[in-house]
Chains A and B, each alone.
Chain A
Amino acid sequence: MINLAQHVVDTISVGGLYALTALGIGLIFGVMRLINFAHGELITAVGYALLLFHGWPLPLAMLGALLIAVVLALVMERVAFRPLRGADPETLLIASFAVSFFLQKLLALTVGARAKGIDFLPSLGEPIAVVGIRLQVLQLATILVVAGLLAGLSWFLGRTRAGLEMRAAAENFRMARLLGVRADRVIAVAFALSGVLAAAVAFLFVAQSGTLTPRMSLQLVVIAFVGTAIGGLGSLVGAAVGGFLVGAASVILQAVLPFELREFREAFAFGLVILVLLVRPQGLFPARGLKERV
């Protein structure tokens, strides 16, 4: 029973991390049909920024790292993706690979490709007992941060003018522009938000792993992307749920698979993904706007 509760908390916190990553990717896909693989480099950049700001007061270091993610996201959009706006999704996807590799190699050249240790928020690694269940503070913090960001994001999208314009642009970009919605601004806001989400993921991820490498976010982004595909590309609810499910599935498989098979849990997880996509090629929550385009 206690063991089960620990697994549940573990599942929710890992799933939540993937849900946040998938939302960052889903926001950008919604407004410009770009699958941004360079989203991972935003997460990586935050990790290295925390190293750079080591010794600063913690809130200041985190704020600085968050600003770096937001600025990098905006620069990425302005330099790499704006000139390609309206291009085929394939072209955009390949451009995002280019940005991703460029930033990875740039980090490897300047900081080095070897892993670096970082002691970020070590107090979160300590165990606490909640009603007799031993948990890591980090897991609880992850769940709280994920819940807070999901609530904040749905408030932004549901209650603010900028959120309304973003939803309209995601459903029908040209009609939104015909009504006066400024394309540059909606897309910039989406990128800035994806930077904020990347920073939150990076804080939790780095606190958990304690190491930095230029390729540290690859796994996160690949799994989160798979999550957005399962959820239904273009749907934010789908991205969050899909990201959560894929993350949760890997934790559950880790717990229930016989020991000899655990090494292959990703194979099982992606097998499930293929099954889901065979049954529902549009994803679990297909976006309306996308269907109309087909």
Chain B
Amino acid sequence: MATAEPLLAVSDLHVRYGAVAALRGVSLRVDPGEFVAVVGPNGAGKSSLLLTIAGAVKPQAGTIEFRGAPIAGAALEAIVRRGIALVPEGRHIFGTLTVEENLRLGITVRADRRQAAADIEDSLATFPILGQRRRQPAGRLSGGEQQQLAIARALLSRPTLLMLDEPSLGLAPAIIDQVYGILAEVNARGVAILLVEQNAARALDAARRTYVLNAGLVRLDGTKDTLLGNAAFDAAYFGVEMAGAARP
């Protein structure tokens, strides 16, 4: 394959729910510190891909290697301990718990409790809106604030790889800018990002490399420059089967 040892290597991954195939042999990789996006229409298998990597869905076939070790089929709570954090679609903050309690759950996997407690204070300072509302039930936050909370909470596990499922869903454009600004900062600190988005324009802008997923298969991959203006991109995204569309 490519140059250095990949951080995450997914190979020929198959996932099905009963009779419905969600992934039909997906392969992709994320290098250390890299920002990678996966775009594709609704139902392409994007969420299934992230949930399978995080251990919430068991694959029927294929391998997932993280830092050289196989993790496919491992338990959720074991995978986050290896350094993969997932911000799932819909954010899934704990609405009945306070903002601070949500963040305290983010340090569940940390052994260095004292430093972790200091990190919670740091993230309350980094995200001022969370600091102002630390004792309020998280369910009262707006969508954008909940997204910040979900990201802050995921980062508290100190992941090497942060995975996000549709972080822009349901947010106003100005708030989406803010969320992507946060992701760029996180990535600049060396955390690799695997981002899933329906909003292809945003994802292409933010990511170094992008995969186009459709109907459970990777149809195309490349950088923004190679993908945009490439006739194969639209075909891959919108699912039109075209000769020569498989790889640029």
Contact = CB atoms under 8 A, between A and B. Distances in A.
A177 interface: yes
A179 B108 contact: yes
A164 B77 contact: no
Interface in A137-178: 161, 164-165, 167-168, 171-172, 174-178
B230 interface: no
Interface in A179-196: 179-183
A185 B46 CA distance: 31
A168 B97 contact: yes
Contacts of A174: 56, 76, 92
A288 interface: yes
A174 B92 CA distance: 9
Interface stretch (B99-107, B202-210, B239-247): B99-107
B25 interface: no
A180 B88 contact: no
Nearest to B108: A180
Residues of B in contact with A, size category: 20 to 34
A229 B60 CA distance: 39
Contacts of A288: 95-96, 139
A179 B97 contact: no
Nearest to A288: B96
B81 interface: yes
Nearest to B104: A164
Interface of B: 54, 56, 75-77, 80-81, 85-86, 88, 92, 94-97, 101, 104-106, 108-109, 139, 153-154, 157
Name A's interface SS.
helix
B92 A175 contact: yes
Given A174-B56, A178-B54, A180-B81, A165 B108 contact: yes
B170 to A, nearest CB: 15
Contacts of B54: 178
Contacts of B92: 172, 174-175, 178
A167 B77 contact: no
A177 to B, nearest CB: 4
B114 to A, nearest CB: 14
Nearest to B156: A179
> Which residue, of A161, A178, A180, A181, has the highest number of chain B Cβ atoms within 10 A?
A178
Given A164-B101, A168-B94, A180-B77, A175 B88 contact: yes
Contacts of B105: 164-165, 168, 176, 179, 181
16 contacts: A168-B97, A171-B94, A175-B88, A175-B94, A177-B56, A177-B75, A178-B86, A178-B92, A179-B108, A180-B77, A180-B108, A180-B109, A181-B108, A183-B76, A288-B96, A288-B139
Interface residues of A, number: 19
Contacts of A161: 104
A178 B95 contact: no
B76 A171 contact: no
B56 A172 contact: no
A252 B154 CA distance: 51
Contacts of A165: 105, 108
A74 B210 CA distance: 48
Contact of B88 (A171, A178, A182, A183): A178
B147 to A, nearest CB: 14
Contacts of B108: 165, 179-181
Contact of B153 (A179, A182, A183): A179
B88 A179 contact: no
B238 to A, nearest CB: 32
Contacts of A172: 92, 94
B77 A182 contact: yes
B29 to A, nearest CB: 22
Nearest to A235: B96
B97 A178 contact: no
Given A175-B88, A177-B75, 7 more contacts: A161-B104, A171-B97, A177-B76, A179-B80, A179-B153, A181-B77, A288-B95
Contacts of B76: 174, 177-178, 183
A178 B108 CA distance: 10
A186 to B, nearest CB: 10
Nearest to B150: A175
Contacts of B85: 178
A174 B154 CA distance: 14
Nearest to B101: A164
Nearest to A185: B77
A239 to B, nearest CB: 15
A75 B50 CA distance: 35
Nearest to A167: B97
Contacts of B157: 179-180
